[in-house]
Amino acid sequence: MRISELSKSAGVPVDTVKYYLRMRLLPEGRRTSATQAQYEQSHLDRLRLIRALTGAGGLSLATTRSILEVLDRRDRPTSTHQLLEQVDQLLAPLGEEPEDTTRAEAVIADMGWDLKITEPGPTSRLAQALAAIDAADFPLDHQAVLDYAHVMQALADEEVASVPDDADAALVRYIVLGTILIEPLLLALRRLALINASARRYSADT
């Protein structure tokens, strides 16, 4: 297909598509002449993926490109675990000051998590979340954090268990996108569940 069709199918302006091409988010089309190129279904899929990651996923174009590169890599990572850590590092918001991670580490220790981690990203994200809760003077004790952690652990266990066994490109895709795109889903569901729960309590009150 030509660029205008690609644009129309994905609902993305032609200029934006060209911009993505320039930014190397989209691979070039197959040139048919000096001013013409052909785009395939794969381009459309990629374009939709870019919009999903930058839209609901909330990623920047730069981060999106890194993620796409991971998806495109021909050499498979040695383990799911390694891949996850890598993705997490890419998604880490390159923190300013190396904040205090003692509380985050305490949570990890109390959960008995053996992360075999080399990168600071995941732990520092937790530290930042805890620091924000603290700075806002929101009352949340250690036990409450552990309660949340247990819920997430149960969820993660199921998610990892549900990952298919055949370690091919589809697996990498599954893990990377599952990490990123499930997040907005979880948050949206939590918001609705909160509203529902409070509606019930409200009705009970009246």
Partner DNA sequence: CAATATTAGGGAGTGGAACTCTCTAATTTC
Partner DNA sequence: GAAATTAGAGAGTTCCACTCCCTAATATTG
The answer to the question of residue 174 lying near a second copy (CB under 8 A) is yes
Q: What is the pattern of x (binds a second copy, CB under 8 A) and - over residues 103-142?
A: ----xx--x-xxxxx----xx-xx-xxxxxx-xxxxxx--
Q: Which of 11, 33, 114, 158 binds DNA (CB under 7 A)?
A: 33
| C-beta of residue 70 within 8 angstroms of C-beta of residue 90 | yes
The answer to the question of residue 16 lying near a second copy (CB under 8 A) is no
The sign of the CA dihedral 39, 181, 65, 17 is positive
Residue 5's binding partner among a second copy, DNA, none (Cβ under 5 to 8 angstroms by kind) is DNA
The phi, psi pair for 24, rounded to 5°, reads 60, 35
* DSSP line for 35-46: TEEE--HHHHHH
One-letter amino acid identity for 101? T
Q: Which of 9, 27, 48, 54 binds DNA (CB under 7 A)?
A: 54
Q: Which stretch binds DNA (CB under 7 A): 20-28, 97-105, 130-138, 195-203?
A: 20-28
| C-beta of residue 176 within 8 angstroms of C-beta of residue 83 | yes
Q: Which residues contact 66 (CB under 8 A, 6 or more apart)?
A: 90
Q: Binders of a second copy: how many residues, by CB under 8 A?
A: 82
The answer to the question of residue 198 lying near DNA (CB under 7 A) is no
Tokens of 133: 């809760």
The answer to the question of residue 140 lying near DNA (CB under 7 A) is no
Q: Which residues bind DNA (CB under 7 A)?
A: 2-5, 13-16, 18-19, 21-22, 28-29, 31-37, 54, 60-62
